[in-house]
Amino acid sequence: MTNKCLTLALHGGAGPLRGREYAKELAHMRGLIEAGRDRLRAGAAAMDVVVETIAHLEASGFYVAGRGASPNTDGVYELDAGVMHGPTRRAGAVAALVGFASPIRAARAVMEQTPHVLLAGNGAAAFAAVQDLARIEDAAAWFTHAGGSAGRKASDLATGTVGCVARDETGALAAGTSTGGVFGKMPGRVGDSPIPGAGVWADDRVAVSCTGAGEMFLRAAVAAQIGHRMRFAGEDLATASAAALAEVGALGGDGGLIAIDAVGAVAMPFISAGMKRAALHADGSIECAAF
Ligand code: ASP
C-alpha cells in the first residue's frame, strides 16, 4: 500500500446550531487531522490514531463527550464509547461509565484486555480502575458543562458526540466513537455510540462513526448497515452511507456520520442542520466544516 491511500476523518457531533460560531472547534479539528496525518505518514496504526484523536477530542471540553459531556437527569455524568478494528473485527466498548476521563481508552482496554465486547456501569468502572486509567477526582471541577437546570439550556448543548475513522498504510481500517449521550437523558440510558453496528463499525471494507439521535441509529443499525450494503449489495461508500442515513430520517431522527472505505473514499453525510467534521482525503487535501 502507498501513502496516497491514507485517509482520516473525525467529527465533533451533529449538534451545531445555525448562527453560532464554531471557529475554535474548526481550528481544533484541523489541528487534530494534521497531527493524525503526520502519524499515519510515519507508519502509525489506524487504531492508535483513532484512539489518540478521540482522546484529544474528549479532553478538549469543546464537544459533548469526555470533559464536555452533559449529565443525566440525576446530575451524573455517564459516558459511552466504542472502538472497532476492521481487519480482525475485534471491538471494545464501555457504557454508562462514571468517574474516568477517557472513555475511549477504557473501550480500547475492553477490546484488548478482556474476552468481552461491552462492559457497563459499575463493572466498567471497576475494570477501568484495574487498568489504571485516569480518574476524575472532582466531577464538578472537571466537566465543562454543569448541565440541567443549573447549567446551560438544552438548546445550547444540543448533542455533540465525537468520533474518528482511519485507514493506515497497511490498509487497516479502524473506528471509534465517544459521547456523553443526549441532553436530559435518563439514568442508565445508552445510545448508539458505543454499540458495534449502530454508532461504530469497522470491517475490511469500511469504518464508520455516527452522531445524532441515538435511538434511531440503534433501530436502523446504521453503521453495520453501511458495511452490509457494501458487502452484499455492492454499493459504494457514498451510496451506502446516504441510504443508511435516510433510514434514520424515515424513523424521525437526524444526525450524520463519517465513513471511509478500503480504497481511499471518504463520506461525511448529515441530515441535521450541521455536523462538525474534518477529513484528510487520499490526495492529501484537508476538509473542515460545521455546516
Ligand atoms: N448519538 C449520540 C447518542 O445518542 C448523541 C450524539 O451523537 O450527539 O448518545
Which residue is closest in CA terms to ligand 1's atom 9? 181
Rounded alpha-carbon distances, angstroms, from residue 126 to 52, 91, 132:
23, 19, 10
Q: How many Cβ atoms sit within 10 Å of the Cβ of residue 184?
A: 14
Q: What 3-state class would DSSP assign to 234?
A: coil
- Total domain count, the chain: 1
In short, whether 194's Cβ falls inside 6 Å of ligand 1 is no
Backbone angles phi, psi at 27, to 5 degrees: -65, -40
Residue closest to 210 by CA, chosen among 155, 248, 167: 248
Q: What is the pLDDT of residue 64?
A: 87
* Per-residue pLDDT tens over the stretch 125-174: 999 999 999 999 988 888 887 654 344 444 444 567 999 999 999 999 99
Distance of alpha carbon 285 from alpha carbon 63, whole angstroms: 24
- How many angstroms is it from 182 CA to the middle of ligand 1? 6
Say whether pLDDT at 282 is over 70.
yes
Ligand 1 atom nearest the C-alpha of 215 is 4
Is residue 216 lining ligand 1, measured as CB closer than 6 Å? Answer: no
C-alpha cell at 216: 434511531
Q: Structural domain of residue 118, as residue ranges?
A: 3-281+285-289
Average pLDDT over the chain reads 93
Q: What integer pLDDT is reported at residue 158 of this predicted model? A: 52
Euclidean distance between CA atoms 162 and 235, whole angstroms: 26
Answer yes or no: is pLDDT of 205 > 50.
Answer: yes
CATH code of residue 53: 3.60.20.30
Quote the ligand 1 centre to 25 CA distance (angstroms).
Answer: 18
User: Of 70, 159, 248, which is best to mutate to test ligand 1, by the most ligand atoms within 8 angstroms of its C-beta?
Assistant: 159
Cα–Cα dist 113/103, whole Å:
15
| Range 254-267 burial, b when 16+ CB lie within 10 A, else e | bbbbbbbbbeebbb
Residue pair 199/190 in contact (Cβ under 8 Å)? The answer is: no
Q: Kindly give the number of the ligand 1 atom that is closest to the alpha carbon of 180.
A: 9
Residue 140's pLDDT is what?
A: 86
Atom of ligand 1 nearest to the CA of 185: 9
Q: What is the pLDDT of residue 145?
A: 72
* Least trusted range by pLDDT, from 38-47, 51-60, 178-187: 178-187
